[in-house]
Amino acid sequence: MFVLSPEAVQSAWTRKEWTAALAREIEESRIRLGVLLLRNCNVLELLRTKHRFDARTDPARAIREVVDWAKRMRDQRKLADSKAPRFFLGYDPRDFVGRGDTLSACTRR
């Protein structure tokens, strides 16, 4: 969670931290960064698309929302990492022109 304030926006160290978190998101293809808006400030361009929580008027509510979001992210990761069986549902191999070998290999797993 990145806490956004006027001081954070100006901090070189904080910029390194959130850009490293964004790089990990891209590398791992998973959401890693949310933004908690603590006080009025300019939201940095790369952070505008991130899930934001507004603590300017109701900090207690924002903290509850952050905790709920973090739990959802954790649960989604657990689900994605599960060893659930993977299979194709009734696809006709003829739909996969030129890929019959690939389809056969996938259905044998």
Q: How far is CA 47 from CA 1, 7, 50, 71, in A?
A: 11, 16, 5, 21
Cβ 28 vs Cβ 34: under 8 Å: no
One pLDDT digit (tens) per residue for the chain, 109 residues = 889 999 999 999 998 998 898 898 888 887 878 899 999 998 888 888 888 999 999 999 999 999 999 998 888 877 776 665 555 555 555 555 555 666 566 555 5
Q: Is the pTM of this model over 0.75?
A: no
Q: How many angstroms separate the CA atoms of 45 and 64, rounded?
A: 26
Residue type, 16: K
Q: How many angstroms separate the CA atoms of 107 and 87, rounded?
A: 6
